[in-house]
Chain A
């Protein structure tokens, strides 16, 4: 095994480690095989939740996100993370603080109370971005790492919102990631695992969970999710893959709630791309904790194992 070529502070967030721990373990193991070492970011907290927390007071939101950034600055490491919601907080606050002196000064005034200072010395990446960008890993290397190709599986992608939107503010090195109307870079990654990526109607629609809406009006929130599930059912996929544990929660546990509240069931397995990658690299469903999912992954697993 070759030495890790890249090292990142692994920012976990909440839902991955505390609800879908397979996303955490698969990310660490799969990325290691691809030459990327993910080092624990000790003492990190919630990003904090951009919708729920940011809606209350953005000033506190900036300071709380900055504290997480400073922990990585102290390690002199860039951050890698696995959640779009966390990306919105951690990447965007880093970006805002780097470019707005007034915000940075305000944040540092508070951080001084806990002997911290935000300096703006690191960058923030989503693991999906690391996988796609050949400067770090790239699609070819992902393809070459596959030992158990997911042949025959029809998989649709849910991109989620906060990794790429609003594209005007984002700064991806890979231009194609700025296409937010009809992107296909995730489909390239799905194909690299041997599976068949499947398009569906209104692919870029939100999962419905964000902005505190899941907590504020669950039926409204699930109705948005249901819209996507109807469109997914139409194209007969074996699984849906995501790059955001909050979207995953909304689609996975959400299907149970939709069954309760709307009386419709889909039984569509929902897997984070890290979990798919783990499977394709030969990790077992047990190693990935797939039994923790609300919707059984069995029918999908039978197809690919």
Chain B
């Protein structure tokens, strides 16, 4: 570090810091978002192409550009406790158009993953996990559909885990490896009793 100004050490340090931050910054958060998302949020120059492309923006306070800034600044609490985090439809229009080749959608996905680690997650997401754990399908078959399938000359159940439940133990083993089902059950029970 070149020291030429003779400022107090703390200020010198701050002036030479390559990272922008505020009092609430958590550098670990920036690092974790980068690790999970595998994209380069720090390249963002805040042009707003992402928010301009976002189908959720015109009907809510969700601003993807704001989340991009939060990722760079390491604003963990602000990001993870904002209910707008869950309004991204993952249409990837922002990612498609980003002039800096960043994937803002994947930044959102990474933040959602980090939120889940703190039990911050809307229940509907967890119910998908529970459904897949029980039948292999997020949207399982039902009797009306079974009758219709038969009428169309198809098997009553599709040749998926529905027809071959012997594949279910393998699927459950994968989900249990990460304790995902146990965590989903616990959180759903806490919320819904």
Q: A residues engaging B (CB < 8 A)?
A: 12, 14-15, 17-19, 21-22, 24-25, 40-46, 48-60, 63-64, 67, 110-111, 113-114, 116, 161-162, 165-168, 180, 204-206, 208-213, 215-217, 220-221, 223-224, 227, 286-289, 292
Can you report 28 residue pairs joining A to B where beta carbons are below 8 Å apart? A14-B137, A18-B141, A42-B164, A43-B167, A45-B167, A46-B136, A48-B138, A53-B129, A54-B109, A56-B112, A57-B113, A58-B113, A60-B174, A60-B180, A64-B175, A161-B89, A165-B93, A166-B92, A166-B95, A205-B55, A211-B86, A211-B89, A211-B90, A213-B86, A216-B86, A216-B122, A220-B56, A288-B152
Determine if A41 and B55 form an interchain contact, defined as CB atoms under 8 angstroms apart.
Answer: no
- Which one of B1-9, B16-24, B73-81, B142-150 contacts A? B142-150
Cβ-defined contact, A55 with B125, below 8 A: yes
Q: Are A56 and B86 in contact (CB under 8 A)?
A: no
User: Are A56 and B91 in contact, with the CB atoms below 8 A?
Assistant: no
Complex Cα spacing A233 to B113, Å: 39
Q: What residues of chain A lie closer than 8 Å to B169, measured between beta carbons?
A: 114
Given A56-B121, A289-B151, is A206 in contact with B93 using a C-beta cutoff of 8 Å?
A: yes
B132 touches A48 (CB 8 A): yes
* Residues of chain B within 8 A of A64, CB atoms compared: 132, 171, 174-175
A161 (CB) vs chain B CBs: closest residue? B91
- A52/B137 in contact, CB under 8 A: no
Contact across chains for A14 and B140 when beta carbons are under 8 A apart: yes
What CA separation (Å) do A56 and B128 show in the bound complex? 10
Are the C-beta atoms of A220 and B174 separated by less than 8 Å?
A: no
Q: Is the Cβ of B151 less than 8 Å from the Cβ of A67? A: no
Q: Which residue of A lies closest to B158 (CB)?
A: A17
Among A14, A60, A110: residue with most chain B CB under 10 A = A14
Closest to A116 in B: B170
Chain A residues with CB below 8 A from B121, complex form: 55-56
Chain B residues lying within 8 Å of A205, measured Cβ to Cβ, are 55, 91
- The reply to whether the CB of B36 lies closer than 8 angstroms to some CB of chain A is yes
Residues of B within 8 A of A51 (CB): 89-90
Complex Cα distance, B162 from A22, in Å, reads 18
Binding site for A on B (CB under 8 A): 36, 55-56, 59-60, 86-93, 95-96, 101, 103, 105, 109-110, 112-113, 116, 121-122, 124-129, 131-132, 136-142, 145, 148-149, 151-154, 158-164, 166-167, 169-171, 173-175, 177-178, 180, 184
Please state if B139 and A14 are interface contacts (CB–CB under 8 Å).
yes
Q: Do B109 and A45 have beta carbons less than 8 Å apart?
A: no
Q: A18-B139, A60-B180, A168-B101 are in contact. Are A46 and B90 (CB under 8 A)?
A: no
CB < 8 Å neighbour of B161 from A44, A221, A288? A44
**Sample of 10 more A-B contacts, CB < 8 Å, known A56-B121, A114-B169:** A44-B161, A45-B171, A49-B138, A53-B128, A53-B132, A55-B121, A60-B180, A161-B92, A213-B56, A215-B124
Closest beta carbon of chain B to A262's beta carbon, Å: 13
Question: A45-B132, A161-B90, A213-B88 in contact; A25/B154 too (CB < 8 A)?
Answer: yes
Are A55 and B116 neighbours in the complex by a CB distance under 8 Å? yes
Chain A residue at smallest Cβ distance from B153: A25
- Nearest B residue to A59 via CB reads B178
Contacts of B149 in A (CB 8 A): 17, 21
CA distance A292 to B149 in the complex (A): 10
Flag if B174 contacts A63 (CB, 8 Å): yes
Q: In the complex the two chains form, what is the Cα distance from A12 to B174 in whole Å?
A: 21
Q: What is the distance, in angstroms, from B9's C-beta to the closest C-beta of chain A?
A: 39
Task: Compute how far the CA of A140 lies from the CA of B33 in the bound complex, rounded to whole angstroms.
Answer: 47
In the complex formed, the residue of A with least CB distance to B152 is: A25
A110 to B171, CA, bound (A): 11
Hey, which chain B residues are within 8 Å of A55, CB to CB?
Answer: 86, 109, 112-113, 116, 121, 125
Question: Whose C-beta in chain A lies nearest to the C-beta of B155?
Answer: A40
Interchain CA distance A162-B56 in the complex, whole Å: 17
Given contacts A21-B148, A216-B122, contact A43 B160 (CB under 8 A): yes
Q: Is the CB of A208 within 8 A of B89?
A: yes
Contact indicator A18/B96 (Cβ below 8 Å): no
Query: With a CB–CB cut-off of 8 A, which chain A residues contact B145?
Result: 18-19, 21, 292
For residue B129, which residues in chain A have a CB less than 8 angstroms away from its CB? Answer: 53, 56
Specify which chain A residues have a CB less than 8 angstroms from the CB of B89 in the assembled complex: 51, 161, 206, 208-211, 213, 221, 224
Q: How far is the CA of A49 from the CA of B90 in the complex (A)?
A: 12
A209 to B56, CA, bound (A): 11
Contact (Cβ within 8 A) B152 A21: yes
How far apart sit A179 and B178, CA to CA, in the bound complex (Å)?
38
The listed residue (A22, A52, A63, A292) touching B125 by CB distance below 8 A is A52
